[in-house]
Amino acid sequence: MAAPSCPALLATCLALLLATAQGDGCSSFGNVFTEIAENSAHGSLVARLPAGGDTPGAPLQLCLIGHDAAWFYLDGRSLRLNVSNGRALDREELESPVLMVALTCAEDGFSPVEYRIIVQVLNENDNRPHFQGTSDLTHNVSELAAVHSVVFSAQAEDADGDTLMYVIDTASPDARFFRIDLPNSGKVVLARALDFESRQQLEVVVTAVEMNTRERFNASARVRVQVLDGDDQYPQFLPCAPRTHRGLTLCTSPVYTANVTEGQLQRGPLSFSPGDVYAEDGDRGLRAAITYSLLAGQESSRFHIDNMTGAITLLRAVESSRRTPAISLSIMASQVNDVTKFAVAQAVVRVLAPNRHPPRFPRASFRAFVPAGAREAALLLTYGGRVLALRARDPDFPQGVNPQVRYSLSSSTNHSHSQQQDQHREQGQDHSQLFQVMPNGLVVARADLLQPAQHYRLQVLARDEESGETSSTTVELEVLWPGQAAPRDPSDAGAAPLHGGALGGALSALLLVAAAVLFLLLRAMKRRQRQHGAAERAALAIEKHPNVSLRWFQPVPAGKSSPTPPSLYYPNEGFSEEGSDPPPPPQPPPPPPPAPQPPPAPKPQANSVGHPVGSPPPEGSPPPPPPSAPRAPSPGEASGEAPDTPPLGGARGPLPALEEVSEESLEEGGGTDPPDPPGVPPPLLQLLEDSIEC
């Protein structure tokens, strides 16, 4: 109900004045203007009417009439508020904050007089502000929205009509993305750019606070901002490797690899690693269509790419893997709706020689042992405590070593035959936590998680990464007690164990025997060399001077023939002087040359074998001739030259001792013999002395 206008109130007041003038009792009353606070209690005093005016025997009759009369009642000359528990005076629920009541005063003999009571209901801050709808609001904002632009508006209401101010709660998770420039407007402005690829949903809290009240009531709303995807990303080849640079996450394209065999044309698309050639729009919310193409290259004409799926097919076989070991391709993926948004990835096609043999393990199964203990890692052992090494051989490679073979455990057949393995499964432990195959074929076990007497069957796979061929072998594993040694190979059970002491003694005896044999062999060889050298020197002595006999190293007459080679022997203390025959020489010397002319007789001295001149010669030797006076040197001898005609016959004096038989005397006796050429053996005297020393 609308508040009465001023002309209407003025007319009402004039009517009351006219009515008052008609009687003296009611003339003391008048129009009442008052106010009362909302939510006042029942019986609250609204206004007091004038006292008096009643005549004896004729009291005044007062009555409240009107649309709002139900809010009041008369208590004598007091106007009070009439409310109940279910009906409170709430200014916000009233049609008008002004209540109007007509007070009728009747007096005997006079016409009733009507007065106006106007009550204004005062407002109290009994209502808090609240946002329209619910306290959880949702707004959609595109990631392409400009920074410093209004992205949404948050509006709250206050039933009391108080002025509200809006602020953003800085404790909210994403308050840094928004701000409010005009606090009274409730318009939220974007503070920084959005990115759908990093954040698809933001959350911020907006609070509305009363500005003109003492209580400062407020209300908050949680606003969820859904970030909408915009076409701002380029295509990406998958699987991509994310890289972070200055707070931005970038997706780097992978390098696709495939293998082809030389001289063979593969049917169907090539199989690439780490996956098929595939790209998608970087705007995941849009998913624009992608088209593929091959950039021009040296060998790109050998291949064809499907522009819709990205499948690459080989059109012409590669003739030689040596001339063309690998082919590099450049693949471009672009958006159909915007060709300026594209990405490029590299693909490498390796050309391999024909693969004729897959990798193979030497045995289908192995026995292994591992002692339980506190160590976290322990190598699996085989018989005799040797380390178990699983190596798959590939005959396509030298020495059977394929560097592209990778070892792994198969989870399908790896299980235990003991109850402890069931406990491991209940505890969430699988084979990957207990065993691991190293790249070199060694198997490592978690000894601290194993229990003695457990048995495991492990299936080890060997896969050729280039050809994709695989082979498998089984390892029967037994868990030993701590400190227990691995058993011996059953095939060696019949052989007696060879202890270290016995082995050392046998080796020492063998070395002693070998040393003795070597010593005897060297001694025999040395003796043979000495005998051979002595024979050669004897033959040389005979060749030089046939009158020298080596039997007793005594000079013999020149007319006596030289001894034959079988009669030559060397002095040896092992032979006696009586009845001892000289040993035969190791090999006969060459036949002696014709006897030269006898040399001139030198001065007699003691011989070199220890028999002085005048002592009896040994048995069987001819007696020495009597000494003679020394011969005077000839003019040629005095000058160092040999005489022209040495004596050839006549009386011979005693032969010179061996010490005086020099090389010059032999040359003198040689007569016309030519001088010795270079490289001849040493003088006869030196040879005889060497023989005696030997």
Long-range contacts of 454-458 (CB under 8 A, 24+ apart): 454/416, 454/418, 454/420, 454/421, 454/478, 454/479, 455/416, 455/417, 455/418, 455/479, 456/414, 456/415, 456/416, 456/417, 456/421, 456/431, 457/413, 457/414, 457/415, 457/416, 457/417, 458/409, 458/414, 458/431
| H or E element, residue 674 | none
204 burial via Cβ count (<10 Å: 0-12, 13-18, 19+): buried
> Which residue, 658, 578, 665, 663, is CA-closest to 618?
578
Instruction: Please state, for a pLDDT cut of 70, what percent of the chain lies above it.
Output: 68
Which amino acid, one-letter code, is at 231? D
Task: Report residue 457: phi and psi, to 5°.
Answer: -120, 110
pLDDT at 594: 52
Q: Is the pLDDT of residue 643 over 60?
A: no
Structure confidence at residue 52 (pLDDT) = 62
Q: Which residue type is seen at 515?
A: A
Which band of pLDDT confidence, cut at 50, 70 and 90, is reported for residue 459?
very high
Indicate whether 355 pLDDT > 70: yes
What crossing angle do the helices spanning 500-544 and 684-693 adopt, rounded to 10°?
Answer: 150
Q: What is the largest CA-CA distance in the chain?
A: 228
Whether residue 121 has pLDDT greater than 50 = yes
The CA distance from 583 to 568, in Å, is: 8
Give dist(CA 86, CA 484) in Å, integer: 92
Please give the Cα distance from 548 to 661 (Å, whole number): 9
Q: Phi, psi (5° rounding) for residue 7?
A: -60, -35
pLDDT at site 114: 86
Could you write out the DSSP letters of every residue in 318-375? -S-TTT-SEEEEEEEEEESS-TTSEEEEEEEEEEE-------B-S-SEEEEEEE-SS-
Q: For position 630, what pLDDT does the model report?
A: 44
Residue 304 has pLDDT above 70, yes or no: yes
Q: How many CB atoms lie within 10 A of CB 87?
A: 12
The strand order across the sheet containing 290-294 reads 255-261, 342-352, 326-335, 290-294
> pLDDT for 76-90, tens place per residue?
888 899 998 888 888
Amino acid of residue 425: R
pLDDT at 461: 92
Residue pLDDT, tens place only, 15-63? 444 444 444 567 778 888 998 988 888 989 998 887 765 555 567 788 8
Is it the case that residue 168 has pLDDT exceeding 70?
yes
Q: How many CA atoms lie within 13 A of 286 on its CB side?
A: 23
Is pLDDT at 546 greater than 80 in this prediction?
no
Higher pLDDT, 387 or 397: 387
Q: How far apart are CA 294 and CA 502, in angstroms?
A: 76
Q: What is the mean pLDDT of residues 456-464?
A: 92
Higher pLDDT among residues 396 and 613, named by residue: 396
pLDDT band at 67 (very low <50, low <70, confident <90, very high): confident
Amino acid at 354: P
| Beta carbons within 8 Å of 450's beta carbon, 6+ residues apart | 370, 372, 434, 479
Q: Which of 20-29, 417-426, 547-556, 661-670 has the lowest mean pLDDT?
A: 661-670
**3-12, 368-377, 419-428: range with highest mean pLDDT:** 368-377
- pLDDT at 156 > cutoff 60: yes
99 closest CA partner among 39, 35, 44, 160: 35
List phi, psi (to 5°) of 555: -70, 140
Q: Say what the pLDDT of residue 57 is.
A: 55
Which of 164-173, 239-248, 451-460 is predicted least confidently?
239-248
- What is the spatial distance between Cα 459 and Cα 364, in angstroms, rounded to a whole number? 10
Q: Are 599 and 665 spatial neighbours (Cβ–Cβ below 8 Å)?
A: yes
Closest listed residue to residue 116, CA positions, set 38, 45, 14, 21 = 14
Residue 513 pLDDT > 70, yes or no? Answer: yes
CA distance 348 to 326: 7
Q: What is the mean pLDDT of residues 295-299?
A: 89
C-alpha closest to that of 540 among 693, 392, 686: 686
pLDDT at 328 over 50: yes
* pLDDT of 584 over the 80 cut: no
| Phi, psi angle pair for 339, to nearest 5° | -70, -10
DSSP bridge partners of 99: 119
- pLDDT on residue 54: 58
Q: What DSSP element (H or E) covers 47?
A: strand 45-48
Mean of pLDDT values over 389-409:
89
Q: What is the DSSP string of 78-106?
A: EEEE--BTTB---GGGSS-SEEEEEEEEE
- Banded model confidence at residue 507, pLDDT cuts 50, 70, 90: confident
Separation CA 570–CA 41 (nearest Å): 162
pLDDT, position 502 = 63
- DSSP 3-state assignment of 544? helix
Which structure tokens are listed for 578? 């009586």
pTM above 0.85, yes or no: no
Rounded distance between C-alpha atoms, residue 476 and residue 488, angstroms: 16
pLDDT (tens digit per residue) in 378-391:
999 999 899 999 99
List beta partners, residue 33.
Answer: 118
Are the beta carbons of 589 and 565 closer than 8 angstroms? yes
Asked if pLDDT for residue 657 goes beyond 50, the answer is no
* DSSP letter (8 states) at residue 174: T
Tokens of 189: 């402005």
Q: What is the pLDDT of residue 424?
A: 52
In the predicted model, what is the mean pLDDT of the chain?
A: 76
pLDDT at 15: 45
pLDDT of residue 58: 65
pLDDT value, residue 123: 85
Q: What are phi and psi of 500, to 5 degrees?
A: -65, -40
User: pLDDT grade, residue 541 (50/70/90)?
Assistant: low
pLDDT average, residue stretch 561-589: 46
